[in-house]
């Protein structure tokens, strides 16, 4: 096995670097620094090591060693459980919760990124063995980049058009256009909504998008990310200022009322457009014959 030393080192390093490349804190502040960084880098290194070992093990006909891959798969599933439990524990401290669907999506993502490290190391070692080291590095880097692009998934901008609106206020009822979303019982709260409130209309591009936006998990994810990105004027026990989303049953548009900390309309629109579409919320009725006929 020592004769494959250079191959193993190069493949291991590239697989680990691929995992480290995706391990950065974004607006969701997850993973936390530095503890989660250490955990995920070590797991990414283990995945890269397993991927780097596949080619030498097969060449040496040590087939029993392949069983370690099944153990790795189990460990990576445990990563998903760890992330799910960690986020669920802190969910009650969020003013605007992520929701179970968003948490599950994040947990799946962190599991999948370990497989990406494994595949990157495997491809690097294959090309290294049959060609040379620099082609191996090139192939591994390209595969990591393409897999990363594939894993990104769509955003709200890909499925819908976002419009910002002045709030509609009818007596003590507030909403967006003709959709009433909340009844305000306090005069002071109503005045704050009048002065600083904002209406948002998310218009689906097709029936697939309409079904996706109707998913409760996707709506909660939009509210959470919007509150994180732009801030929200809200505190515990102040339900009258909670941002809410309601569907227009006739046209499928998603209507949101919101009290932003940063009332910049252009940046609020950009923030919503960049919010990810959850994997569990994606529905595609137009893919079926019945769905296409119903849409026509």
Which tens digits make up the pLDDT trace of 115-174? 889 999 999 999 998 888 888 999 999 998 888 888 888 899 999 999 999 999 988 899
Residue 164 and residue 84 share a domain:
no
Residue 274 and residue 227 share a domain:
yes
Work out the mean pLDDT of the chain and round it to a whole number.
Answer: 84
Residue 203 and residue 67 share a domain:
no
4-21 tens-digit pLDDT? 788 889 999 999 998 888
How is residue 222 written in tokens? Answer: 């939009």
Residue 148 and residue 10 share a domain:
yes
Answer yes or no: is pLDDT of 293 > 80. Answer: no
Report the pLDDT averaged over residues 259-285.
Answer: 85
Identify the band that residue 73 occupies on the pLDDT scale cut at 50, 70 and 90. Answer: confident
Closest to 113 measured CA to CA, from 10, 24, 11, 9: 24
Pairwise CA distance, residues 72 & 83, whole Å: 17
Closest to 218 measured CA to CA, from 231, 202, 233, 229: 202
Identify the band that residue 33 occupies on the pLDDT scale cut at 50, 70 and 90. Answer: low
Q: Domain containing 64: what range? A: 2-152
Say what the pLDDT of residue 289 is. Answer: 56
Q: In percent, how much of the chain has pLDDT > 70?
A: 89
Residue 215 and residue 91 share a domain:
no
Identify the band that residue 286 occupies on the pLDDT scale cut at 50, 70 and 90. Answer: low
244-261 tens-digit pLDDT? 999 998 888 999 999 998
Say what the pLDDT of residue 156 is. Answer: 93
Q: Final residue of a domain: which of 152, 184, 208?
A: 152
Residue 214 and residue 81 share a domain:
no
Report the pLDDT averaged over residues 23-52.
Answer: 73
Residue 50 and residue 133 share a domain:
yes
Residue 230 and residue 256 share a domain:
yes
296/191: higher pLDDT: 191
Strand partners, 200: 164, 256
Cis ω for the linkage preceding 31 (within 30 of 0) = yes
Task: Specify the 3-state DSSP secondary structure of 1.
Answer: coil
* Overall domain count for the chain: 2
Residue 193 and residue 96 share a domain:
no
Report the pLDDT averaged over residues 200-226.
Answer: 91
Q: Final residue of a domain: which of 87, 122, 152?
A: 152
Q: Final residue of a domain: which of 113, 133, 152?
A: 152
Say what the pLDDT of residue 32 is. Answer: 58
Cis ω for the linkage preceding 23 (within 30 of 0) = no
Residue 135 and residue 65 share a domain:
yes
Residue 290 and residue 165 share a domain:
yes
166/61: higher pLDDT: 166
Q: Which of 1-5, 18-22, 262-266 has the lowest mean pLDDT?
A: 1-5
- Beta-sheet strand order (sheet of 198-204): 160-165, 198-204, 254-258, 244-247
Residue 161 and residue 102 share a domain:
no
Instruction: Please answer whether residues 224 and 98 qualify as being in contact, where contact means their C-beta atoms are separated by less than 8 angstroms.
Output: yes
């Amino acid at each position: 096995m020592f004769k494959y030393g250079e191959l193993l080192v190069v493949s291991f390093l590239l697989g680990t670097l691929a995992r480290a490349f995706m391990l950065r804190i974004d607006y969701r502040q997850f993973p936390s620094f530095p503890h989660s960084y250490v955990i995920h880098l070590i797991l990414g290194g283990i995945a890269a090591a397993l991927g780097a070992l596949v080619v030498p093990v097969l060449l040496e006909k040590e087939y029993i060693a392949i069983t370690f891959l099944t153990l790795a798969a189990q460990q990576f599933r445990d990563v998903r459980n760890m992330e799910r439990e960690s986020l669920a524990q802190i969910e009650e401290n969020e003013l605007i919760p992520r929701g179970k669907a968003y948490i599950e999506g994040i947990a799946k993502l962190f599991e999948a990124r370990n497989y990406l490290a494994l595949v990157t190391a495997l491809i690097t070692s294959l090309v290294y063995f049959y060609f040379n080291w620099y082609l191996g590095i090139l192939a591994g880097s390209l595969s990591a980049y393409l897999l990363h692009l594939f894993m990104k998934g769509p955003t709200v901008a890909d499925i819908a058009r976002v419009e910002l609106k002045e709030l509609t206020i009818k007596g003590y009822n507030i909403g967006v256009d003709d959709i009433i979303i909340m009844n305000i019982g306090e005069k002071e709260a109503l005045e704050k909504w009048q002065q600083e409130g904002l209406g948002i209309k998310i218009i689906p591009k097709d029936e697939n998008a309409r079904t996706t936006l109707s998913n409760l998990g996707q709506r909660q994810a939009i509210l959470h990310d919007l509150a994180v990105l732009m801030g929200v004027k809200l505190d515990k026990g102040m339900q009258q200022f909670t941002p809410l989303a309601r569907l227009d049953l006739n046209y499928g548009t998603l209507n949101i009322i919101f009290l932003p900390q940063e009332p910049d309309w252009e940046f609020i629109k950009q923030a919503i457009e960049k919010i990810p579409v959850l994997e569990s919320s994606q529905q595609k009725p137009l893919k079926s014959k019945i769905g296409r006929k119903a849409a026509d």
